[in-house]
Amino acid sequence: MILTSTDGQSWTDRASLITNDLYGIAFGSSEFVGVGFSGAIVSSLDGINWTSHPSGTSHFLSGIAYANGSFVTVGEAGTILESAPLTAPTPPKLGPILLLAKGAARITLTGATGPRYRIEASTNLDSWFPITDIVLKATTGDFIDPSATNSTRRFYRAVVQ
């Protein structure tokens, strides 16, 4: 069972895509990795959507840790597995921002191809609201904020979904 919470009080059950019990979980390089019965290994970038991975063993895996760019798991019969070195994904970057006619703004997003980015805006750096979602087909892409001049100041951020 995998449970997630945004507030530590209300919890949501998430599907791990496997029927094996999980006994350990670790976080590193912007990724969660869980291990368990019969060599089960699952991973997630957000704690919600999980992918199963072959471990090459059917031994019970009881614990996992992340250090020095790798995950290491241990289990029964002296089983020790180590992942290849991982590198954290490059965080997305926004800019330049080009003001267009009629109050719109064109903003360039630079990041990895493949992940879905949610673009959010704020007027106070405290409350954020969504502008659009974008998946880059190349390492840079532009998006338009049609209501950029509806406030005296506007901040943007890109969040990997």
CA distance 87 to 69: 6
pLDDT tens digits along 42-79: 999 888 888 889 999 999 999 999 988 899 999 999 99
* pTM for the whole structure: 0.54
User: What pLDDT, on a 0 to 100 scale, did the predictor assign at position 88?
Assistant: 59
Token pair for 20: 């094996």
- CB-based contacts of 33: which residues, under 8 Å, 6+ apart? 25, 26, 27, 41, 42, 43, 64, 66, 71, 73, 83
Q: Where are the domains of the chain?
A: 2-82, 93-160
- Please choose, from the candidates 67, 70, 38, the residue with its C-alpha nearest in 3D space to the C-alpha of residue 54: 38
- CA-based Rg of the chain, rounded to a whole angstrom? 20
Cα–Cα distance, 82 to 151 (Å, whole number): 51
Answer whether residue 36 shows pLDDT above 70. yes
User: Where is 98: in which H helix or E strand?
Assistant: strand 93-99
